Amino acid sequence: MKNIQGKVVIITGASSGIGEATAYKLAEQGAKLVLGARREEKLKVIANNILAKGGEAVYRVTDVVKAEDNTALVALAKSTFGKVDAIFLNAGLMPNSPFSALETDNWNAMVDVNIKGVLNGIAAVLPTFEAQKSGHIICTSSVAGLKVYPGGGVYCGTKWAVKAIMEALRMESAQAGTHIRTATIYPAAVQSELVAGISNEATSSAYRQLYDTYEIPAERVANVVAFALAQPDDTTISEFTIGPTTQPW
């Protein structure tokens, strides 16, 4: 797409699922990719696949919970490609369970990655976007950020927080005249490794059945990210809800 060619795009959570699919999709359309995730081997494979097809991609092992890792990812984009045009804050965890299971370590992990990780990404890139008076911040929430499900209270809470954060960011950017665009994506059952991270046996079984029944490929969300990025610079489409046609979420 015309408005994607040559753009420098940072992707967190880039080693699998939606992040990986988006990296390939944007590379095909001429974007220059800066990939961040915790698993170096997977990042290396994805970057090499993009390079082998004539695309441009670099990567850095990144834990979004660490503010300095986010800052370093932005610095890598600038040192390699000279600029940053967009960031896709896609890293997330979904180790769901009923509150009564008291999986407090998982509660804290979801807050750290799903909320603090997003805030760290925004903090890392916002000064650059404000200075250049342009930029695009895209974030993965979930349909769990629009409605609440039993067994997913903490996860839902983190994804509702993402909705609020991104909406306030959109409004503040508009008020400040910084021309920063935002987009929040609310996927339903889309292929990812989220279900694999559920340790609670009963919850895992229910979610695995749900995803086995309805799941659509991660590329479907990658298409939405590309669509958002391709819009004219004066246009923000701030929210996208996407899921299987057959899933009554």
CA distance 203 to 181: 36
CB 111 within 8 Å of CB 158: yes
pLDDT value, residue 196: 87
Strand duo 135-140 + 180-187: pairing? parallel
Burial 21-41 (b: 16+ CB within 10 A, else e): bbbbbbbbbebbbbbbbbeee
Domain boundaries, the chain: 8-242
Active site residue 155: yes
Each residue's pLDDT expressed in tens, for the chain with a length of 249 residues: 679 999 999 999 999 999 999 999 999 999 999 999 999 999 999 999 999 999 999 999 999 999 999 999 999 999 999 999 999 999 999 999 999 999 999 999 999 999 999 999 999 999 999 999 999 999 999 999 999 999 999 999 999 999 999 999 999 999 999 999 999 999 999 998 888 889 898 899 999 999 999 999 999 999 999 999 999 999 999 999 999 999 999
| Catalytic member of 155, 186, 207, 211 | 155
How many Å separate Cα 101 from the centre of its chain?
Answer: 28
DSSP codes, 97-130: --GGG--HHHHHHHIIIIIIHHHHHHHHHHHHHH
CA distance 181 to 137: 6
Residue 214 burial (C-beta neighbours within 10 Å; 0-12, 13-18, 19+): middle
CB 31 within 8 Å of CB 58: no
pLDDT value, residue 1: 65
Closest Cα partner for 16 from 113, 90, 86? Answer: 90
The CATH number corresponding to 8-242 among 3.20.190.10, 3.60.21.10, 3.40.50.720, 3.40.50.2300 equals 3.40.50.720
pLDDT value, residue 146: 98
CA distance 91 to 157: 16
